[in-house]
Amino acid sequence: MLRKPSTAFNGRKAYAHLRHLAHDIGPRLAGSPGEHKAARYIEKVFKSFGLTTRLQRYPSVTFDNNGTVFEVEDGGRWRRVQCQPVTFSKGTPRNGVTGEIYFAETGAPEYLSPAMKGKVVLVCGRIAPEDRPRFLSHKPRALVIIEGGLGKEPRRTVLGKHDRETYGNLPMVSILHLDGLDIVKKQLRRARLTARVAERNSHSFNVIGEKTGCDFPEETVVVCGHYDSCMGITGAADNAGGTAILMELARVLGARPTRRTLRFIAFSAEETGLNGSTFYANDLARKAEREKKRKSFREKVDKTELDRHVFTFNIDVHGSIIGNKYVLFNGHDDIGAAVRLLAKEVGVTCSVSKGPMSSDGTPLAAVGIPNVQFARGGGSVHGHTSDDHIRYTSADSLARAGEFAELFLRRYVTEASAMPFPREIPDDQVPGIKDYFKNHKDPVPGEKVEEQGKRKKSARK
């Protein structure tokens, strides 16, 4: 019987990190005390592995939920309905807001009417950005989003910066589909929402641990994953599991020689808009601009720190007992082929496709760094709900994913005589990466500040 390639990855060690992040520390919303505590823990662990460690601090915004209640009048009595505040939506006055219920179906223009004025509007799904000005012009009192699926609790929904601007100063909550169905079916007439929530300025940390390469130290490979979670949930699989794999890879790969420099990064604030990785990518781009302006810089000889970043391996959502592994990649087609061949060799099912993913490898791809984004979905993955819990994860699941990641990185990064993948994002992939950010109304990482300003001015016109 043929033996599989040997690995040093230890699923039990990784699971101990998952348990500490998800169970002992708990929720890790961007900019919150939980996120800061997790950053210090990861930093301490990186240092224990002998890595050169630093914290990259940047401004962020956090959100406090001090109590949110949604009620409907049913049979002459007020009845509570399970709800979740939409992260970064506005609060209500202390006594809440009360109004008649107006059901606006899908929130399409055909369902928006002046009759919404002063009412609590129910919508199945989110209102399209281009329709929000008309929606707000009718001066609703609050917005209640009815979930589309039949989940057990409303998902944690996050408003990005553009969403916050276009939804305006409006209290918003999500409720279950069946609760929304009950309200509409019974034609209940009045609702009351009390949301004691607040958005405040804070800061976040990207945790960086580095091992310098012995043969090609100028070639930097980023191995990363985000450690934050959505509001109020432990985020066991998304992404304490991915962070746990990252940390165990740091132990395993940091203990042996590497031909290239390995930079292990636990990114923050991914759930609120890829903010940590975007800050990192923009920081590289700004430094590159400054380096190129130096008189001593030789265009065809010298390389910026950004140029020296040759590859990214991002790990997001892992540890669930039941699920399917998949990879999205940006870069040369050889990257996808390498993942497929290794999966067949070691007997792992892993679907592979090309394109950006809503995760931390994408901002780095926007500044020209090819990537693999390794994830797990389906099965017992319950992202952005309280069911993203440690009870649905296992050391064995972490081990299987971590062993695959270790083999890939050893074969193509730490032990390779030459980096097998070109340091490029092919022209046909660039529009898709840029569209990811433009569709979210976010600046494309790496684009010059003055160009972003021009776009904002033209958009206002």
Supply the DSSP string of 33-87, one letter for each residue: HHHHHHHHHHHHHHHHTT-EEEEEEEEEEEEEEEEEEEEEEETTEEEEE-EEEPB
Give CA 118 to chain center in angstroms.
35
Closest CA to 202 of 45, 92, 88, 84: 88
Q: What is the largest CA-CA distance in the chain?
A: 79
Question: pLDDT (tens digit, 9 = 90+) per residue, 401-418?
Answer: 999 999 999 999 999 999
Q: What is the pLDDT confidence band of residue 2, given thresholds at 50, 70 and 90? A: low
pTM score, two decimals?
Answer: 0.94
The token pair that represents 361 in the structure block:
């490898």
Residue 326 pairs in a beta bridge with 351, 375
* The pLDDT of residue 4: 67
- Which tens digit of pLDDT belongs to each residue from 370-391? 999 999 999 889 889 999 999 9
pLDDT of residue 5: 77
Residue 433 has pLDDT above 50, yes or no: yes
pLDDT-derived band at 451 (thresholds 50, 70, 90) equals low
* Residue 420: closest CA among 260, 299, 284, 265: 260
Q: Which domains, ranges and CATH numbers included, belong to the chain? A: 11-62+202-449 (3.40.630.10), 66-197 (3.50.30.30)
Helical spans, DSSP H, in 106-167: 132-137, 161-167
Contact 445, 438 (CB under 8 A): no
> Averaged over 439-460, what is the pLDDT?
66
Helix (H) or strand (E) holding 438: helix 430-439
Condensed to tens digits (0 to 9), the pLDDT of residues 257-310 reads 999 999 999 999 999 999 999 999 999 999 999 999 998 999 888 999 999 999
Higher pLDDT, 458 or 67: 67
| C-alpha R_g of the chain | 24
Res 457 pLDDT > 50: no
Tell me: the pLDDT tens digits for 172-208? 999 999 999 999 999 999 999 999 999 999 999 999 9
Residue with tokens 């099912």: 349
